[in-house]
Chains A and B, each alone.
Chain A
Amino acid sequence: MEQSKKNANRDSVIFALIHGVTYLPATWLLKHDVFDKTFSVIIATVPIITFSIFVFKLIKAFSAMDEVKQRVQLEAVVIGFSLTAMLMMLLFLLSLSDISNPAWFGYGHLVGYCWAFYFIGWFVSKRKYGV
């Protein structure tokens, strides 16, 4: 039981790293127009596939956690999602009056902000439950 929990955790971390390894080169290749459009679509799909596997492993790891850790993860996701939704709403409203800065708030940046908000939620929830 304890071993399967460790394996589930380890697998999710490994696939997070694999996703990172595919995401960064894909970003670089697509940004520098190295390939034609067809191959660019394939390159763009690779990090999505690795991310899907990571999410699958993360859900498996979540179900192997004890209930306190599950609560911490759940609250982290709720806080992360809420903050991301708030940021996107703010950006949308600002864009209506042409106040936006794509250099800081492009799609790529939003992915980063989303993760940052999740980790803020995780930190807050961990402190709340003392785990």
Chain B
Amino acid sequence: MKNTIKVERAKKNWTQADLAKHIGISRQGLNSIETGKFVPSTVLALRMAKVFNTTVEILFQLDDTEA
């Protein structure tokens, strides 16, 4: 699973800690998601998309091998 969290974060000039606070998880937890080690739940993905004012499909995409 690929994601564009880092890009979206950069657009808003947010640190990981800022985003983690907005979506209600720990900074370490967010780092785990951003680096692709953990796939978030639907609720968390939707919450993330909401704070970035975008869609889940833009934030998360399947890898070529997963598609």
Contacts and interface: CB of A to CB of B under 8 A. Distances in A.
A and B associate in one complex: yes
B-side interface mostly: loop
A-side interface mostly: helix
Chain A, interface size: which category?
10 to 19
A71 B38 contact: yes
Interface string B25-54: 110110111010110110010000000000
A68 B32 contact: yes
Complex A-B, nearest 4 residue pairs according to Cβ-Cβ distance, in ascending order: A68-B29, A66-B25, A131-B28, A129-B32
28 contacts: A66-B24, A66-B25, A66-B26, A66-B29, A67-B25, A67-B38, A67-B40, A68-B25, A68-B26, A68-B28, A68-B29, A68-B32, A68-B33, A68-B38, A69-B29, A71-B38, A128-B37, A129-B32, A129-B37, A129-B38, A130-B28, A130-B32, A130-B37, A131-B26, A131-B28, A131-B29, A131-B31, A131-B32
